[in-house]
Amino acid sequence: MFYIGCHLSASKGFTAMGKKALEIGANTFQFFTRNPRGGKAKDVSEKDIADFLALAKENKFGVLLAHAPYTLNAAAADESVRQFALDTMADDLKRMEYVPHNYYNFHPGSHVGQGTEEGIRKIAGILNAVLKKEQTTTVLLETMAGKGSEIGRSFEELQSIIEQVELKEKLGVCLDTCHVYDAGYDIVNRLDGVLEDFDRIIGLDRLKAIHLNDTKNPFASHKDRHEKLGHGFLGLDALVGIINHPKLRDLPFYLETPNELDGYAMEIALMKKKRG
C-alpha cells in the first residue's frame, strides 16, 4: 500500500481534513495540533472524531501525523519556555488518544548557546516527563536541517536523545528529505549509504515516517527552505527513488511543499504515477 498525503489545515476538524485528503487523492495527512505558533488547542468534538474514524476506516487511511507547534523549544535555557513545551506536549498527547495509534512529530529544539549535550539532556528530560506507558501514540523526533543551534541535525544527536529516554518504545524518527540533505546527508547520490548510516546509528526500525519535500538550497546549506517536488536541488529522480526504495516504500509519506491544495493534488498524482 502506498500511503501518501500532505500537510492540511486543522481548523475545521478531523472529518473536514479526511474529506480534503480524499479530494486530493491522499490516504493520510499531517496537521498541526494547534496554532503552529503555539496557543490553545480547539475543543475535541466527539462527533467529529467518530465521523472521521469511520471515514478513515472505510477509505483505508494510513497512520496520521500530528505536528507539534514549531515554536516549542524543549531545549531552551529559560525554564518557563521549557515548561511551556512540556505542558503543550503533555496536552497534545492527551488529546491524541481520541485518535489512538497515530504519530506525533516534533522539532527536538535549539540549544541557544548552552551546547548540544546540554540541549539533548533537556529534550530527553521533557520526553521523560510527558511520555506515558499507557499512551498509544508514537512520538517522532524530526531530522533537522541544522539551522542556528538546532538539535537533530545528525543521526548521532537523535540517537543521544533516544538513549536518555526511558520509554524508548514510544519513540521514533520522522525523516525530512529537505532537512537531511540540507544537514549534509547526500540522499541524491548515496541514498543507500545514508540509510546504512541511519541503521547503524539509530536503527531503521525507528524510522516511522517521511516528510517528502524538495529543497530550495544546495547540499549542506543548513537553511531549511522547502521546495515543490522536482523543482529543487533534490530533483524528481531522487524523490522517486525515495518513495520506491525497498527500505522506505512501506512508510507513510507527507508532503510539506509550498503549495495550495491543487498543487498538492498534482504532486500526489505525480508520485502515484511514479510509484513502481
The residues binding Zn ion (CB under 5 A) are 224
Stretch that binds Fe ion, among 25-33, 122-130, 134-142, 258-266 (CB under 5 A): 134-142
Which is nearer to Zn ion, 92 or 224 (by Cβ)? 224
Distance CA 188, CA 64 (A): 27
For residue 172, the one-letter residue type is G
Q: What is the set of active-site residues?
A: 37, 67, 70, 107, 142, 176, 179, 211, 224, 226, 256
Q: Is 176 in the site for Fe ion (CB under 5 A)?
A: yes
What residues numbered 209-268 form the site for Fe ion, per CB under 5 A? 211
> Which residues lie closer than 8 Å to 184 by C-beta, 6 or more apart?
146, 153, 219, 220
- Structural contact between residues 4 and 240, judged by C-beta atoms closer than 8 angstroms: no
CB of 234 to Zn ion, least distance (A): 13
CB of 251 to Zn ion, least distance (A): 18
Which is nearer to Fe ion, 15 or 188 (by Cβ)? 188
- Structural contact between residues 152 and 137, judged by C-beta atoms closer than 8 angstroms: no
Stretch that binds Fe ion, among 6-14, 96-104, 176-184, 188-196 (CB under 5 A): 176-184
Which is nearer to Zn ion, 178 or 191 (by Cβ)? 178
Which is nearer to Fe ion, 45 or 71 (by Cβ)? 71
155 is written with which cell numbers?
543521526
Minimal CA–CA distance to 254: which of 215, 212, 206? 212
Tell me how far CA of residue 128 lies from CA of 16, 75, 76, 121, in angstroms: 34, 13, 16, 10
